[in-house]
Chains A and B, each alone.
Chain A
């Protein structure tokens, strides 16, 4: 009788555990399904667009004027606009972030680190619309003092603010990569009579390089997808240029423009946002995959240590 009771209880527990396992599995499945769902919606929305506009025109054209009477559907002005603002952002953010992460991980006394870390995290919490207005109302007028022919909207101004925006992420991820370098390597270097500077530059940085590369790619991916700052401060003029002083339109800013405007649904103008969205998705996906690959490489290297 008692054995039978125990057996029943064990079965009840096992059943309960099965439910819990299923619930957990379901939650993780849901996030994958959502990602697939977004991709499918983008693809589904783009198909009618590509039945009207050829792929050669889309990826070969250099003029983007879907909202005008004389319609052209060449994506390149939006792509260069996106790449240009992101390039300004990463150029701006990388030197500072790298030095800051080296300071935080290798040099800072504990007290400084405890002070700086929360401040950097606050920087990450600033809404991007604030950065957008900051770029438009403060950075652009200030830059115009030095660069007289800077346009009112420019990829330089937006890129600089986007650089400030991605800095906390870049600092945190690079610092993680540096901290993941085993302390045995630092000690090994010191034991050979190396000083702190050589240890950091010749041992720690080279050992963390793939992790830092992964951090850079993730930050670029974040910059590519950033919307508010560029929509406000970079302008809305699709412009095939590599001059950061000029006004450009990024892919995200274009999507905002169409979504907020009075473009009727079902028209080819409206469907452009799916094609642009899909292109952006592809671009960030490539960045994220490269970042993932570098991260794996980084982790495998230290698996044996």
Chain B
């Protein structure tokens, strides 16, 4: 039942976004990527391609390694004590785990939005938007940056709600607003890729819907990879979907195909609600 319902969502979604994957340029590619944490294997031999200006959803049950995969893509995984990694990830045909790649510069091109909104409490709304530029010394406190702030907040569909209180503390915002602020913060640094780790899991349905329409509006400018435990969300917004199970990539492809005619029985079982 559930399965058919999801297929229905995909078919309506597909009319508005449907773009065959083959037309698209691959921006990110993982090659036999394995990752572990204190000798516990979390990702096992992942080979995945992510195409440019596209929304990819990564789905799978809790603990399947979705978040870890995301964190490997902008080299955040290595910041955790006891983490190891093998394999390669190519970003625009360059292996990001090559010794010559500075993870700090890489993270400026691949932004990450976390599960729990984490605006900087010591900064105002405006300063939070500019924090990426400020932390990387692209601007200083004197730079005239009002247009940057407005642009980023407009893109994150937050401008109208906060334009009169840009100097207020970021903690005065609601959870959904805080999360959009974090998206604005990531966008202000003008990344090429935006990674989102279950960005709506702590939000109510209205805030979730806002973020989803925001992501759809961004997909022509950015490559978006979103981890979600919500299959309907994946069906609603993504062009391509990857299904992970216990650290293995079971299959990936166009969302329509994954949701209507999955190749693997495990995918089919998961989509029809046999897991989780």
Contact = CB atoms under 8 A, between A and B. Distances in A.
Interface of A: 110, 182, 184-185, 187-195, 198-199, 202-203, 206-207, 209, 301-302, 304-305
Given A206-B122, A207-B121, A191 B107 contact: yes
B201 interface: no
A193 to B, nearest CB: 3
Contacts of A182: 118
B76 A193 contact: no
A194 B122 contact: no
The 10 closest A-B pairs by CB, nearest first: A193-B108, A194-B135, A192-B132, A206-B122, A184-B118, A191-B112, A193-B107, A188-B118, A207-B122, A193-B136
A24 B149 CA distance: 55
A65 B112 CA distance: 68
B74 A189 contact: no
Interface stretch (B50-58, B181-189, B215-223, B227-235): B181-189
Contact of B114 (A184, A198, A302, A304): A184
Nearest to A189: B135
Contacts of A189: 120, 131, 135
Contacts of B121: 185, 207, 301-302, 305
B79 interface: yes
B184 to A, nearest CB: 12
B17 interface: no
A207 B104 contact: no
B104 A195 contact: yes
What is the interface residue range for chain B against chain A?
Answer: 20 to 34
B114 A191 contact: yes
Contacts of B79: 187, 190
A202 B185 CA distance: 16
Contacts of A191: 74, 76, 107, 111-112, 114, 186
A206 B121 CA distance: 9
B17 to A, nearest CB: 27
Interface in B102-146: 104-108, 111-112, 114, 116, 118-123, 131-132, 134-137
Contacts of B120: 185, 188-189, 203, 207
A210 B123 CA distance: 14
Nearest to B134: A202
Contact of A184 (B104, B116, B171, B189): B116
Given A192-B189, A195-B104, A187 B135 contact: no
Contacts of B108: 192-193
A148 B158 CA distance: 66
A191 B186 CA distance: 9
Contact of B107 (A110, A185, A192, A202): A192
Nearest to A201: B135
B76 A190 contact: yes
A209 B123 CA distance: 13
Contacts of A301: 121, 171
A202 B81 contact: no
B131 to A, nearest CB: 6
Contacts of B134: 202
Contact of B111 (A187, A192, A194, A206): A192
Contact of B105 (A190, A193, A203, A207): A193
Contacts of A206: 122-123
B50 to A, nearest CB: 18
8 contacts: A185-B118, A190-B76, A191-B107, A192-B107, A192-B135, A192-B136, A198-B135, A203-B135
B135 A202 contact: yes
Contacts of B107: 190-193
A202 B130 CA distance: 13
A209 to B, nearest CB: 7
B171 A187 contact: no
Nearest to B138: A193
B149 to A, nearest CB: 15
Contacts of B122: 203, 206-207, 209
A168 B217 CA distance: 54
Nearest to A192: B132
A184 B104 CA distance: 17
Nearest to A182: B118
A193 B136 CA distance: 7
B92 to A, nearest CB: 17
Interface in B146-205: 171, 182, 185-186, 189
Contacts of A304: 171
A202 B105 CA distance: 18
Given A185-B118, A188-B182, A191-B111, 5 more contacts: A190-B76, A192-B108, A206-B122, A207-B120, A209-B122
B136 A187 contact: no
Contacts of A187: 76, 79, 114, 118
B186 A192 contact: yes
